[in-house]
Structure 1
């Protein structure tokens, strides 16, 4: 099977793609021409404006359909693969009980001005996500969910008070790279407040994070969109309460 691929639109390998964006100009024929020109400069040729809708008096939203001539070599794609086994809630509880001989403490929050708790709640709340129950369901895990708009000093203070083993931070609001700035501020604060051998595990997640950027952001792990509670729980066990099998895998 070839590792070289092109986008698929109407027929195999035709290179057709669909692109959407907004331009800060009122809707007009000139605006549509500008959208087509932009798509051309991005490598779409031909580029057809198939949808244009005014967004108030000064902006226009476009959908452009066209052909690109770029190829992708799948064998050279680099991603962060899961390097630990997925465990059931029963296996997670057993590993924590056997290794820590106490409950594993997790403190979670949305930091900065982020008021979107859907991500942190999907991982922590018992209702969970994608058919999996959240960490509150795990008998050997103590969950402290601080909710939204938590300042970094508040998060550090609560993590110290709870003697947290791990801190989970969700960032959904990403305008002006706020998620990156907030994460770097958070990781720096924890490193300043804790001795290196006592710092809790720092984990961040959200739809706009690059999973390969953990070291750059100063955290231990980055989770992207679609992450399930079971993946997070299994990672916590692999790092904090490893069994022989998880130790080998990680």
Structure 2
């Protein structure tokens, strides 16, 4: 469901501070939302009642059960629909804005040559048990993503793509051997916070292997990372779903420029 202002707030209101919005379903400001979930119950009337109770506790009132399907003998999948009692104040919404310009491949290459006077070395991998290389390949491979060519296309970037299920010690060793300026890690498998555990293990290993102030730029990406949690994970940047190669290249240029200025 898309979100619109409440009826008393006009679409042309300037700025976002103080604007309160509700979801939109059938009519403006009705708060209607649809959500799905699975409960560990066989499909019967008790399970359906439990699903509606959960929906009400999550702020849907009234809540309507629109779909229920058994998922084997012990689980049931539900879709519920209802009016959300919750409001969103846009003034309280905090997002991570891009603080650097988005560069073309030509401008990125020129900036790298000017700052480093050599190629920027990028090592990428999926670590741990993660075998999903779609994300890392979209950023690194020349075919790229969303009409943008990957970092292999940039003549001033040397890309070393290690692929899937790379152990952290192997990643650190290869980064040291290649004298990597940046390490890109993709994490798609997120069950039981595997992406969090793998990332913190990876960042700790790099800080142990490198002298202070000489750790490569550590970048992670994946659909379940929380923006703004870089410090907790020990990395320099987090990229979420929909990230393009140009965004990553532009960030790397920005970061190497900042690091050179600090040194």
Range into which the TM-score falls when normalised by the shorter chain: over 0.9
The CA RMSD measured in Å over matched residues stands at 1.1
Q: CA deviation at 1:241?
A: 4.0
Mapped partners of 2:219, 2:44: distance in 1 = 46
Task: Indicate the residue corresponding to 1:53 in structure 2.
Answer: 69
- Equivalent residue for 1:142? 158
Match 1:172 to one of 175, 183, 188: 188
| Residue 43 (str. 1) matches residue 59 (str. 2) | yes
- What is the CA deviation profile of residues 51-95 of structure 1, one whole-angstrom value per residue up to 9, with x for unaligned ones? 111111211111000111111111221010000000000001111
For residues 105-124 of structure 1, give each alpha carbon's deviation from its aligned partner in whole angstroms, at most 9, with x where no partner exists.
00000000000001101100
* Alignment partners' CA distance in 1, 2:182 and 2:67: 46
Higher-RCO chain (CA-CA 8 Å, sequence separation at least 6): 1
Q: 1: distance between equivalents of 2:224 and 2:235?
A: 16
Q: Which runs of 5+ in 2 are unaligned?
A: 1-12
Tell me whether 206-215 or 52-61 shows the greater mean CA deviation: 52-61
Say whether residues 1:13 and 2:29 are aligned partners.
yes
> In structure 1, the residue corresponding to 2:138 is in which secondary structure?
helix
Matched, 1:208 2:224: yes
TM-score (norm 1): 0.95
Partner of residue 182, structure 1: 198
Choose from 125, 131, 137 the match for 1:109: 125
Q: Contact 1:105/1:141 (CA < 8 Å) preserved in 2?
A: yes
Task: Give the Cα–Cα distance (whole angstroms) in 2 for the partners of residues 84 and 96 of structure 1.
Answer: 15
Gaps of 5+ in 1: none
Instruction: Report the TM-score, using the length of structure 2 for normalisation.
Output: 0.90
Asked if structure 2 preserves the Cα contact closer than 8 Å seen for 1:167 and 1:201, the reply is yes
